[in-house]
C-alpha cells in the first residue's frame, strides 16, 4: 500500500478538484446542505443517465454496515457517497445492518453506527433496517433455489470444501453431494435449521460452476450452521445466511436501485447478479464499485482495529488515536471537515493512497473558521512581574473574524509562560524570552527578563520580569520587540489534564511488514498538566478551542474532584497549528 509518486499525484489531483468548504454546524445540516455543489463522478453520471432514460423514476441507495465493530474513516466516504447521491437526485437512502453473523455482532455496535451517521449530518429513510428482518424470506428463497436445482446441501468438512474449491490456476472439484436429489437437499436443509447438524457439519451451496474462472462462482456457500442467539431474532434460527447471499437479496427486497460498494466486491458482482436473476426480479438493483479510501498512517480494517482494542493497545474503540468515527469525534474532528475531505478525495475506480495532510488540512480549515480562541500553557514556568502595580482585567475577542463576543483576561503579578518560550542559551533565530531580553505577552504588555531563579539542581523554576506599562496595545518607543508569547494568570488559572496525540502508527503503510503491531508509535500519547486562562472555567464537554500558538483542542470530559474543589478538565489536542499541506 506504500504510495508511489503516480498514485500520490492522482489522489491529490482528485482531492483538489473541489475546494469549497462547508461551515454549517452539524446539527443544522440537512442532507442537501451537506452535499451542495458536489462535482459529477462516474457514479453520478450513471445515475443521471438512468433517470434521463426512464430506467428509474426514483433513486434508492443504502448504507449497509455489518454491526461487528465501530465504523472507521473508510466508512465516512461510503456514508457521504450513499446518502449524498440519494439526496442530490431527490431519492432515498436506507440504513441497513447486514447482521448475518451473530457471533461477531452486538447492540453496542448498532447504537454507535446510528450515532456516527447522525453525527456526520445525514438522515436515513424511515426506520433502520436489518437483514435479519428478511431471514424468513431468505430461507424461503433458499428452498426455491433447491427446488430449481440451483442449490444443494454439502456434507463435506469445511477444510474439504476449501481444498476442493481450487484456485486461480486450478479448477475446483465437484462435491460428492452436488447431484443429490431435490428431496434429499430439502430434507437436509430443513434439518440444518432444526438443529440436527453440528456447526460445520453441513452448508447450503449454490450450484453454479466449479470450473468457473471467478473463484467466487465455484458453488459458493449460501448458508452455514451457527447455534448462536441473534441480537434481533433471538434463538429462532440455527442457520444464518452468508453475507454474499443476504446482501443482494436484501437490496432487491428494499428496491435499491444502485448498490454502491468498494472495489473488493467487484469479483462478487457475478454472484450478486446470479442470485437476483435466479430469484427473479423485474427491475434488479445494480452493483457499482468504487475505490476504497486509503489514507497514510491509517489502518482501516475492523478486524485489526478490534485487535488493538482487545489487546489493550488503545483504550476502546473511541480512543482518540483510533481512525474510527467515534475516535475522531472524541479527538475533536468536525463533521463538516470530514465531509469536505471526502468531497475533495472524490469518487473513482482507481486505487491510491491519500496524503494524510489533506485530511488534517480539511479539519484545520473547519476549526479555523469556528473555534473560539483562548490561551493555555502546557508546560508551565512561573513568572513574577515585579513592576506591575496592581492586578488588571484585560479583554480580547474570542475569535478574530466571527462575532463570538469577548473574553476577560486577568493579569496579576504572577503568571505562567511555557518553558519552551524561555532559553538561557537560545539557538539562532530564537525570538522568545532570554535573560535581559524583551518579549510581548500576547494581548498584554512587553516584559523584560531581569532575573532567573533555579533550584538546587540548576533547573529554571522562576523568572522575574519587569513590565513596560506604556506598551499595552502599542509598540515600545525607540526599539523593536519581535517575539510574542502566550501566558495565563497564575492566580485565576484553571488546571487541566491535556492529552497530546500523535499518529498511532509510525509507518505510512501501517500494514507494512509481517505484523502491523510492530509499526505502532510508542509515543502516540503524552499527558501533561496544563494551566488554562480563566475564561475556560465554564467550558463544557465537546467544546472546541484554538489555544493560541499551541493548536486546536477539545474538552473531552470534566472529571469530578473532592468536595469544594473545581472540576478538572480533561482536554484532547485535535491538531497542532502547523499545516504544511498546500492545496492548489
Catalytic machinery residues? 66, 292, 302
Q: How far apart are CA 215 and CA 231, in angstroms?
A: 32
Cα pseudo-dihedral 92, 95, 96, 101, rounded to 10: 160
CA nearest to 68, candidates 304, 342, 314: 304
Residues comprising the chain, all counted = 584
Which three cell numbers mark 249?
437479496
Angle at 355 between CA 351 and CA 356, to 5 degrees: 120
- Full DSSP string of 142-185: HHHHHHTTSEEEE-S-HHHHHHHT--SSS-----TTTT--HHHH
Phi, psi of 481 (to 5 degrees): -115, 110
Q: What's 265's DSSP letter? A: G
Q: What CA–CA distances, in Å, run from 399 to 207, 372, 373, 404, 494?
A: 66, 5, 6, 6, 20
**Cβ atoms 185, 152 nearer than 8 A:** yes
Q: What share of the chain is helix, strand, coil (3-state, %, to 5)?
A: 30, 25, 45
| b/e map 230-247, b = 16+ CB within 10 Å | bbbbeeebbbbbbbbbbb
194 by DSSP, 3-state: which?
Answer: helix
Pairing status of strand 406-411 against strand 446-454: unpaired
Q: What residue has cell string 489533506?
A: 358
Q: Which cell numbers in the block locate residue 175?
A: 462435491
CA 510-512-515 angle, to 5 degrees, is: 85
Give the number of other CB atoms < 10 A from CB of residue 521.
Answer: 16
Give the torsion sign (CA, 326, 329, 335, 336). Answer: negative
Question: How many CB atoms lie under 10 A from the CB of residue 518?
Answer: 12
Could you tell me the strand order of the sheet in which 129-130 lies?
Answer: 60-63, 92-97, 129-130
**DSSP, res 119:** H
Are the C-beta atoms of 73 and 328 separated by less than 8 Å?
Answer: yes
Return the bridge partners of 324, or none. Answer: 72
Burial 423-442 (b: 16+ CB within 10 A, else e): eeeeeeeeebbbeebbbbbe
- Taking the C-alpha atoms of residue 523 and residue 383, their distance in angstroms, rounded to an integer, is 30
Amino acid at each position: 500500500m506504500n504510495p508511489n509518486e503516480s498514485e500520490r499525484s492522482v489522489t491529490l489531483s482528485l482531492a483538489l478538484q473541489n475546494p469549497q468548504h462547508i461551515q454549517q454546524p452539524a446539527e443544522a445540516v440537512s442532507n442537501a446542505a451537506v452535499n451542495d455543489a458536489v462535482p459529477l463522478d462516474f457514479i453520478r453520471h450513471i445515475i443521471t443517465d438512468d433517470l434521463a432514460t426512464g430506467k428509474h423514476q426514483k433513486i434508492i441507495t443504502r448504507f449497509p454496515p455489518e454491526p461487528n465493530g465501530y465504523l472507521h474513516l473508510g466508512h465516512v466516504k461510503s456514508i457521504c457517497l450513499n446518502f449524498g447521491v440519494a439526496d442530490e437526485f431527490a431519492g432515498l437512502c436506507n440504513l441497513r445492518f447486514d447482521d448475518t453473523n451473530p457471533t461477531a455482532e452486538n447492540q453496542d455496535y448498532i447504537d454507535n453506527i446510528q450515532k456516527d451517521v447522525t453525527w456526520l449530518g445525514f438522515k436515513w429513510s424511515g426506520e433502520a433496517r436489518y437483514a435479519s428482518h428478511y431471514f424468513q424470506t431468505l430461507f424461503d428463497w433458499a428452498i426455491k433455489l433447491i427446488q430449481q436445482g440451483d442449490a444443494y446441501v454439502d456434507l463435506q468438512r469445511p477444510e474439504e470444501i476449501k481444498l476442493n474449491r481450487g484456485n486461480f490456476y486450478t479448477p475446483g472439484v465437484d462435491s460428492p453431494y452436488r447431484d443429490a436429489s431435490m428431496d434429499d437437499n430439502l430434507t437436509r436443509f430443513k434439518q440444518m435449521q432444526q438443529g440436527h447438524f453440528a456447526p460445520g457439519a453441513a452448508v447450503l451451496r449454490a450450484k453454479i460452476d466449479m470450473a468457473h474462472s471467478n473463484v467466487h462462482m465455484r458453488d459458493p456457500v449460501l448458508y452455514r450452521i451457527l447455534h448462536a442467539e441473534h441480537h434481533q431474532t433471538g434463538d429462532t434460527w440455527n442457520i444464518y445466511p452468508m453475507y454474499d447471499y443476504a446482501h443482494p437479496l436484501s437490496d432487491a427486497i428494499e428496491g435499491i436501485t444502485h448498490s454502491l460498494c468498494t472495489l473488493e466486491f467487484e469479483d462478487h458482482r457475478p454472484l450478486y447478479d446470479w442470485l437476483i436473476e435466479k430469484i427473479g426480479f423485474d427491475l434488479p438493483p445494480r452493483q457499482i464499485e468504487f475505490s476504497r479510501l486509503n489514507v497514510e498512517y491509517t489502518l482501516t480494517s475492523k478486524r485489526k482495529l478490534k485487535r488493538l482494542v482487545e489487546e489493550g493497545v488503545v483504550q476502546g474503540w473511541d480512543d482518540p488515536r483510533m481512525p474510527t468515527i467515534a475516535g475522531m469525534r472524541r479527538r475533536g474532528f468536525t463533521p463538516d471537515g470530514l465531509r469536505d475531505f471526502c468531497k475533495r478525495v472524490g469518487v473513482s475506480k482507481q486505487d491510491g493512497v491519500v496524503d494524510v495532510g489533506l485530511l488534517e488540512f480539511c479539519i484545520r480549515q473547519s476549526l479555523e473558521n469556528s473555534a473560539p480562541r483562548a490561551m493555555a500553557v502546557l508546560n508551565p514556568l512561573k513568572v513574577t512581574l515585579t513592576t506591575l502595580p496592581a492586578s488588571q482585567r484585560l479583554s480580547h475577542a474570542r475569535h478574530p473574524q466571527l462575532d463570538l463576543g469577548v473574553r476577560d483576561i486577568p493579569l496579576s503579578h504572577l503568571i505562567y509562560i511555557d518553558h519552551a518560550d524561555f532559553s538561557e542559551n537560545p539557538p539562532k533565530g530564537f525570538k522568545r524570552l532570554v535573560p535581559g531580553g524583551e518579549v510581548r505577552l500576547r494581548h498584554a504588555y512587553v516584559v523584560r527578563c531581569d532575573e532567573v531563579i533555579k533550584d538546587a539542581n540548576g533547573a529554571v523554576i522562576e523568572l522575574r520580569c519587569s513590565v513596560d506599562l506604556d506598551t499595552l496595545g502599542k509598540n515600545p518607543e525607540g526599539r523593536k520587540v519581535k517575539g510574542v508569547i502566550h501566558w495565563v494568570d497564575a492566580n485565576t488559572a484553571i488546571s487541566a489534564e491535556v492529552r497530546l496525540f500523535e499518529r498511532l502508527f509510525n509507518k505510512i503503510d501501517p500494514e507494512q511488514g509481517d505484523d502491523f503491531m510492530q509499526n505502532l508509535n510508542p509515543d502516540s500519547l503524552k499527558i501533561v498538566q496544563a494551566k488554562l486562562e480563566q475564561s475556560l472555567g465554564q467550558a463544557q464537554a465537546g467544546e472546541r478551542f484554538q489555544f493560541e500558538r499551541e493548536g486546536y483542542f477539545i474538552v473531552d470530559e470534566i472529571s469530578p474532584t473532592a468536595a469544594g474543589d473545581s472540576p478538572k478538565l480533561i482536554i484532547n489536542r485535535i491538531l497542532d497549528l502547523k499545516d504544511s499541506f498546500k492545496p492548489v
